[in-house]
């Protein structure tokens, strides 16, 4: 009789052990380690914490970019085509907006890349000031591209006069968080451009 009771107790304990091991398995299954989902969705607190990491972590060592590359096309003037209405605006080399007009397609494609990196934040460009039809009466120096950052909490940050380099800072921030790629495939620490990064993110 005693033997039967002991066997019963052992069986019950064994059963309980199996149940608890199964429960633990389920728990760890619910918590994926670092998925792309958790990296991509960022709240304001996440942004602020990521900015703090730039100061506290050692950046990866800088890499020199390619020194020699094919000479690009030499323009006397640049025809800018407005993506909204197709209007063509001519920029001469002397124009203060000449370089912006040239880099507009690159900025667009970098913003597209940036948008695919982050969930919960939308990035868009306002190029209207580069178009003589959208903005006929502004001075040359005001013809700039603006970046608009819209957060899921409803905040909108607008920065006038963004460059391709600015968007590279943001891509670096949302990729490794410590460095960014230069236009010739080099790598530089974000620490050096942190004030600008904060302006772009609306955290200055
Ligand atoms: Zn236009």
Task: Establish if 53 belongs to a structural domain.
Answer: yes
Q: What's the number of domains the chain is made of?
A: 1
| pLDDT, greater one: 3 or 78 | 78
Compute, in angstroms, the gap from residue 59 CA to the centroid of ligand 1: 41
Task: Establish if 12 belongs to a structural domain.
Answer: no
Compute, in angstroms, the gap from residue 171 CA to the centroid of ligand 1: 27
Compute, in angstroms, the gap from residue 110 CA to the centroid of ligand 1: 21
Task: Establish if 181 belongs to a structural domain.
Answer: yes
- What's the pTM value of the predicted model, to 2 decimals? 0.77
- pLDDT tens, residue by residue, 163-196: 999 999 999 999 999 999 999 999 999 999 999 9
How far apart are alpha carbons 108 and 197 in whole angstroms?
18
CB 149 within 8 A of CB 162: no
Compute, in angstroms, the gap from residue 140 CA to the centroid of ligand 1: 15
Compute, in angstroms, the gap from residue 159 CA to the centroid of ligand 1: 19
Domain span at 97: 40-57+74-201
How far apart are alpha carbons 22 and 131 in whole angstroms?
64
- pLDDT tens, residue by residue, 80-132: 999 999 999 999 999 999 999 999 999 999 999 999 998 889 999 999 999 99
């Amino acid at each position: 009789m005693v033997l039967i009771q002991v066997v019963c107790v052992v069986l019950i304990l064994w059963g309980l052990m199996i149940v608890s091991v199964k429960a633990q398995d389920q728990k760890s299954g619910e918590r994926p380690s670092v998925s792309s989902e958790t990296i991509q969705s960022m709240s304001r607190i996440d942004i602020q914490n990521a900015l703090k990491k730039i100061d506290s972590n050692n950046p990866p060592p800088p890499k020199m970019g390619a020194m020699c590359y094919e000479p690009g096309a030499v323009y006397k003037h640049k025809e800018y085509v407005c993506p909204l209405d197709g209007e063509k605006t001519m920029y001469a080399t002397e124009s203060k907006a000449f370089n912006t007009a040239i880099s507009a397609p690159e900025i667009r494609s970098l913003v597209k890349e940036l948008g695919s990196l982050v969930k919960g934040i939308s990035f868009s460009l306002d190029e209207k000031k580069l178009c003589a039809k959208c903005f006929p009466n502004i001075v040359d120096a005001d013809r700039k591209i603006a970046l608009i950052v819209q957060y899921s909490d409803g905040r909108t940050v607008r920065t006038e006069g963004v460059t391709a380099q600015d968007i590279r800072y943001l891509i670096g921030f949302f990729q490794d968080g410590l460095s960014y790629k230069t236009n010739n495939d080099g790598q530089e620490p974000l620490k050096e451009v942190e004030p600008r990064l904060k302006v772009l993110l609306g955290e200055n």
